[in-house]
Chains A and B, each alone.
Chain A
Amino acid sequence: MNVRMSVYILGFLTLFEGVFMAVPTITAAVYQEKELTLFAGFALALMLIGFVVTRFKPTNKSLYARDGFVIVAVSWILLSLFGALPMYISGAIPEFIDAMFESVSGFTTTGASILHDLDSLPKCVLMWRSFMHWIGGMGVLVFIMAILPLAGGQNMYLMKAESPGPSVSKLVPRVRKTAVILYAIYFALTVTEIILLLIGGMPLFDAINLACATAGTGGFGISNAGMMIYNPFCIWVITVFMFLFGVNFSCFYLFLCRKFREGFTAELKVYLCIIAFAVTTITLDIRHLFENFGTALMHSSFTIGSLLSSTGFSTVDFNLWPTFSRTLLVMLMFVGACAGSTGGGIKVSRCIIFFKNMHNELRVMTHPRQVKKVKMDGHQVEAEVIRSVNVYFACYIMIYAVNMLVLSLDHLDLTTNFTAVVATMNNIGPGLNLVGPASNYDVYSGCSKCMLIFNMLTGRLELFPIILLLSPATWKK
């Protein structure tokens, strides 16, 4: 474990969080809110701490896989902690555990909330919540890598530990340039969405907030009225962008390079097929609840986009929909977005590998001597990746089981607990019943909230970094 190098990177993390906090500070200044001094002070303090810590450059810059996992896990915990403090101190959220829940939910782009009354919150806190989504979506360490020339090849371990998906591929030879390209695409898409929402007649504050929340596939709302106050054009814009942010960003890069055939990966095709299937069936299933077909299509697409990409916005209370639709929605929550996107969930590519491998193994049972390899996009999937996918599923189920037990102590119904775990572990936000879109997570006790915080972090970091952080073997010399 290279402690000094880890501290150095965490120093940069603190520094950048201070810089990020300029956004709510500016918001507070624009709306002349009393939280201005608090946010400004906090931003300056974080920048100062970060600045001092990063003055001590470590001589030994080498990082290994273990350091990568630990740094990423600790970074995200610290990031959430610093993010929670201003909300707690300002009194916007009176309980610390609630502030922490809100902050983790923000950075992990879950969008699950414990707040009842959004209208009473200061604008700067609302902006901070949305901006946390934007930072957390692409990953804050990827951002640091894009800006800082860290030690050569070793930062690949950081990128590997932070980026979603079974295997991480670089777009261009250098990690740093890859990170810059990813953030450029991310930024450009976000700005496009803001502009489109403004054209649709949405106020600027709402447009920026909702665009940040969509970009990070987060899903924090900004008013009690929810999404229904916006016109259908804005709803469709948000729907399309939710689908877009669920696509692997390397596909966008390949499209930009005019490599359309390469960009149209197997994962993207399956993702589009899932969308097509779900939209058709659910629209037909809920057709009778709405006055015309267009409205039904809009609501079903919006909800599917929201849950599949793990955003978690809602136009209507899908908790009231027929059982078939609700079941299908819960299944979509598990699948999640594409690898390499800002979305959460198990990821489409992991599901593809899992099913292909299962298919192969079944064939081998009937033809024991058959040699079969899992292939994707014409390339053989390495045995190591398949193994890690299998381990991922095993860990996923174990964590799920532990969660269900812990949450059951609160004596809520099974559907609520089951969907609460799905919604937090896959970074979605709303579940069903008591944690449905019309209600929120304040129904849980402090202990359960801690469990859900753990879920959100493990889910965002793809299980392993957080599990390894808790494993004694990681800390042995």
Chain B
Amino acid sequence: MNIIIVGCGKVGRVLTEQLNEVGNNVTVVDQNSSRVTEVSERFDVLGVAGNGATHSVLQEAGINKADLLIAVTGSDELNLLCCLMAKKAGDCQTIARVRSPQYNAEAPYLKEELGLAMVINPEYAAAAEIARVLRFPSAIKIDTFVKGKIELLKFRLPEDSPLCGMAVKEIAPKLHCDILVCTIEREDEAYIANGNFVFSPRDVISIIAEPKNAFTFFRKINYKAKPVNDVLIAGGGDITHYLCGLLEKSGIAVTVIEKDEDRANLLSEQLSNVNVIFADAINQEVLKQEGIDRKEAFVSLTNMDEENILLSLFAKSVSEAKIVTKINRIDFDEVIEHLDLDTIIYPKNITSESIVRYVRAMKKTIGTNLETLYQVIKGKVEAAEFNITTDCELTRAPLMDLNFKPGVLVAAIFRNRKVLIPRGSDTIQIGDSVVVVSNHLGLHDMNEIIR
């Protein structure tokens, strides 16, 4: 695919590297010509220096042959303008990064009215990921479908779990939970769950469910890790702003430490239920005063990576809290991994991952209806979300009468804003979003799951 990336900042570089690696023809555009030269030499891509929102520069970058334009410059307005120009100049899909809270509130409108394929907000995406981790601190990985309405959670069974010795089909009658077990990893083997599968300790299990049902399920199986009740956040940037909004909804008590007085005032105005402290977080007295040793979670989100690492190391030494650290620069990730800092969030990776995922799905979408795609178990099991747009073989009979290939699981159906964990008697209808978990990698069309 021919892809144009406007903006060679942190995200632009990561995107260039990842999209180029999987065999796309990438052209980068940036105002700063030395940056363009550097990126184009480093990653074997074509570089064009200039303003990506101008017609001439887009022409030079080959907009008429491009399949996708991704605008990730520092300015929201420029990104949106780039996408508009690209839409006019060539027949391509467009993705814009829009990060300011004002525009973020209108993201769906922007997407619809400006014809964007995707509006990506790294700060919001990071905040959402942090919120997910805080809600269920022991999950190894949480993937979401249909804009977060359906979650795929991966976790490890402890030795004393009540699930051990239980078969998959016994979960529904015994626990009365609307969840579906999708995959089981035991040692190096990966299995697509069937009804007779019996759990044993140390299995890594992934389940699909609506967030609130997943929560009930974990309570019923006596999972030790509870959602956190109170959080201490260091730093009051955009991620904090979004995160507080998300945590407020789940009723989690939040304390934010911000060193800039104006910013602290603003946060206090905008987030009425949040306890805002005007102080520099890099001060043991302040942290202790705010009870860092008693908090259930500590999130460091200051602008300085070094400061975040130090704060998290300190928090780890004085408390049992769940610790989340934000790292903006990637250069020393091996060193950072060694520090054993619990959960680490890389906002620019979250952004690039979701764009790369979109590009991959887009490649497979040509002529079909694939919406999103995750690797549940790397190189073995994929979870794909399909939109059912037209009448097809799948919609003509209840699930139990369809002849599925082995290793395929229809895991969830989203219909009329409701999540349905499908049973044999259910049917797939036009307009549904369906999540399919399967070990057939690279599904193009949902009809391929039928024999």
CB of A153 within 8 A of CB of B34, answer: no
When C-beta atoms are compared, the residue in chain B nearest to A152 turns out to be B44
CB of A382 within 8 A of CB of B44, answer: no
Per the bound structure, the CA–CA distance linking A153 and B41 in Å amounts to 6
CB of A153 within 8 A of CB of B25, answer: no
CB of A175 within 8 A of CB of B33, answer: no
Answer yes or no: A57 CB below 8 A from chain B CBs: no
CB of B44 within 8 A of CB of A153, answer: yes
CB of B42 within 8 A of CB of A153, answer: yes
A379 / chain B contacts, CB cutoff of 8 Å: 49
CB of B49 within 8 A of CB of A173, answer: no
Answer yes or no: B26 CB below 8 A from chain A CBs: yes
Per the bound structure, the CA–CA distance linking A379 and B60 in Å amounts to 12
Per the bound structure, the CA–CA distance linking A379 and B33 in Å amounts to 11
When C-beta atoms are compared, the residue in chain A nearest to B45 turns out to be A173
Per the bound structure, the CA–CA distance linking A59 and B20 in Å amounts to 21
B43 / chain A contacts, CB cutoff of 8 Å: 152-153
Answer yes or no: B46 CB below 8 A from chain A CBs: yes
Contact partner of B25 (CB less than 8 A), chosen from A152, A173, A380, A384, is A173
Answer yes or no: A156 CB below 8 A from chain B CBs: yes
When C-beta atoms are compared, the residue in chain A nearest to B46 turns out to be A173
Per the bound structure, the CA–CA distance linking A382 and B34 in Å amounts to 8
Answer yes or no: A34 CB below 8 A from chain B CBs: no
A173 / chain B contacts, CB cutoff of 8 Å: 20, 25-27, 44-46
B46 / chain A contacts, CB cutoff of 8 Å: 170, 172-173
A176 / chain B contacts, CB cutoff of 8 Å: 44
Answer yes or no: A372 CB below 8 A from chain B CBs: no
Question: Within residues 149 to 182 of chain A, which ones have a CB less than 8 A from any CB in chain B?
Answer: 152-153, 155-157, 160, 170, 172-176
A170 / chain B contacts, CB cutoff of 8 Å: 40, 46
**Which of A155, A172, A384 gathers the greatest number of chain B CB atoms within 10 Å?**
A172
B21 / chain A contacts, CB cutoff of 8 Å: 152
Per the bound structure, the CA–CA distance linking A152 and B40 in Å amounts to 11
CB of A175 within 8 A of CB of B25, answer: no
When C-beta atoms are compared, the residue in chain B nearest to A171 turns out to be B46
Question: Within residues 21 to 41 of chain B, which ones have a CB less than 8 A from any CB in chain A?
Answer: 21, 25-27, 33-34, 37, 40-41
Question: Within residues 279 to 302 of chain A, which ones have a CB less than 8 A from any CB in chain B?
Answer: none
A157 / chain B contacts, CB cutoff of 8 Å: 41
**Which of B33, B42, B44 gathers the greatest number of chain A CB atoms within 10 Å?**
B44
Per the bound structure, the CA–CA distance linking A380 and B21 in Å amounts to 31
B20 / chain A contacts, CB cutoff of 8 Å: 152-153, 173
CB of A174 within 8 A of CB of B41, answer: no
Contact partner of A174 (CB less than 8 A), chosen from B25, B33, B34, B37, is B25
B37 / chain A contacts, CB cutoff of 8 Å: 382
Per the bound structure, the CA–CA distance linking A382 and B33 in Å amounts to 8
Per the bound structure, the CA–CA distance linking A379 and B37 in Å amounts to 14
A152 / chain B contacts, CB cutoff of 8 Å: 20-21, 43-44
Per the bound structure, the CA–CA distance linking A175 and B44 in Å amounts to 6
Per the bound structure, the CA–CA distance linking A153 and B28 in Å amounts to 14
Question: Within residues 118 to 177 of chain A, which ones have a CB less than 8 A from any CB in chain B?
Answer: 152-153, 155-157, 160, 170, 172-176
Per the bound structure, the CA–CA distance linking A382 and B42 in Å amounts to 19
Instruction: Give the Cβ gap from A172 to chain B, nearest Cβ, in Å.
Output: 7
Instruction: Give the Cβ gap from B9 to chain A, nearest Cβ, in Å.
Output: 18
Instruction: Give the Cβ gap from B24 to chain A, nearest Cβ, in Å.
Output: 9
Per the bound structure, the CA–CA distance linking A380 and B31 in Å amounts to 12
0/1 string, A376-401, CB within 8 A of B gives 1: 00011010100000000000000000
Using A379-B49, A382-B33, A382-B34 as known contacts, say yes or no to A172 and B25 having CB atoms under 8 A apart. Answer: yes
Per the bound structure, the CA–CA distance linking A204 and B37 in Å amounts to 46
Contact partner of A156 (CB less than 8 A), chosen from B33, B34, B44, is B44
Instruction: Give the Cβ gap from A467 to chain B, nearest Cβ, in Å.
Output: 21
B25 / chain A contacts, CB cutoff of 8 Å: 172-174
B44 / chain A contacts, CB cutoff of 8 Å: 152-153, 155-156, 173-176
Instruction: Give the Cβ gap from B270 to chain A, nearest Cβ, in Å.
Output: 44
**Which of A156, A173, A175, A382 gathers the greatest number of chain B CB atoms within 10 Å?**
A173
B42 / chain A contacts, CB cutoff of 8 Å: 153
B49 / chain A contacts, CB cutoff of 8 Å: 379
When C-beta atoms are compared, the residue in chain A nearest to B28 turns out to be A173
Instruction: Give the Cβ gap from A69 to chain B, nearest Cβ, in Å.
Output: 14
CB of B41 within 8 A of CB of A156, answer: yes
A156 / chain B contacts, CB cutoff of 8 Å: 40-41, 44
B40 / chain A contacts, CB cutoff of 8 Å: 156, 170
When C-beta atoms are compared, the residue in chain B nearest to A155 turns out to be B44
When C-beta atoms are compared, the residue in chain B nearest to A151 turns out to be B44
0/1 string, B43-55, CB within 8 A of A gives 1: 1111001000000
Instruction: Give the Cβ gap from A299 to chain B, nearest Cβ, in Å.
Output: 42
Question: Within residues 170 to 217 of chain A, which ones have a CB less than 8 A from any CB in chain B?
Answer: 170, 172-176
A172 / chain B contacts, CB cutoff of 8 Å: 25, 46
Per the bound structure, the CA–CA distance linking A384 and B35 in Å amounts to 13
Per the bound structure, the CA–CA distance linking A155 and B42 in Å amounts to 9
A153 / chain B contacts, CB cutoff of 8 Å: 20, 41-45
A174 / chain B contacts, CB cutoff of 8 Å: 25, 44-45
Per the bound structure, the CA–CA distance linking A136 and B41 in Å amounts to 24
Per the bound structure, the CA–CA distance linking A300 and B266 in Å amounts to 80
Instruction: Give the Cβ gap from A464 to chain B, nearest Cβ, in Å.
Output: 16
B26 / chain A contacts, CB cutoff of 8 Å: 173
Instruction: Give the Cβ gap from A119 to chain B, nearest Cβ, in Å.
Output: 49
A382 / chain B contacts, CB cutoff of 8 Å: 33-34, 37
Instruction: Give the Cβ gap from A384 to chain B, nearest Cβ, in Å.
Output: 8
When C-beta atoms are compared, the residue in chain B nearest to A175 turns out to be B44
When C-beta atoms are compared, the residue in chain A nearest to B2 turns out to be A173
**Which of B25, B27, B33, B41 gathers the greatest number of chain A CB atoms within 10 Å?**
B41
B41 / chain A contacts, CB cutoff of 8 Å: 153, 156-157, 160
When C-beta atoms are compared, the residue in chain B nearest to A383 turns out to be B34
Per the bound structure, the CA–CA distance linking A157 and B42 in Å amounts to 9
Per the bound structure, the CA–CA distance linking A160 and B40 in Å amounts to 13
Per the bound structure, the CA–CA distance linking A379 and B45 in Å amounts to 20
Instruction: Give the Cβ gap from B448 to chain A, nearest Cβ, in Å.
Output: 31
Per the bound structure, the CA–CA distance linking A173 and B23 in Å amounts to 11
Per the bound structure, the CA–CA distance linking A328 and B103 in Å amounts to 65
Instruction: Give the Cβ gap from A233 to chain B, nearest Cβ, in Å.
Output: 41
Instruction: Give the Cβ gap from B322 to chain A, nearest Cβ, in Å.
Output: 38
When C-beta atoms are compared, the residue in chain A nearest to B49 turns out to be A379
B34 / chain A contacts, CB cutoff of 8 Å: 382, 384
Chain B residues packing against A (C-beta within 8 Å): 20-21, 25-27, 33-34, 37, 40-46, 49
Q: List 18 A-B contacts (CB under 8 A).
A: A152-B20, A152-B21, A152-B43, A152-B44, A153-B20, A153-B41, A153-B42, A153-B43, A156-B41, A170-B40, A170-B46, A173-B44, A173-B45, A174-B25, A174-B45, A379-B49, A382-B34, A382-B37
Additional 17 contacts, C-beta under 8 A, given A157-B41, A170-B46: A152-B20, A152-B21, A153-B43, A153-B44, A156-B41, A160-B41, A172-B25, A172-B46, A173-B20, A173-B25, A173-B27, A173-B45, A174-B44, A175-B44, A380-B33, A382-B34, A382-B37
The 4 closest A-B pairs by CB, nearest first: A153-B44, A173-B46, A173-B25, A153-B43
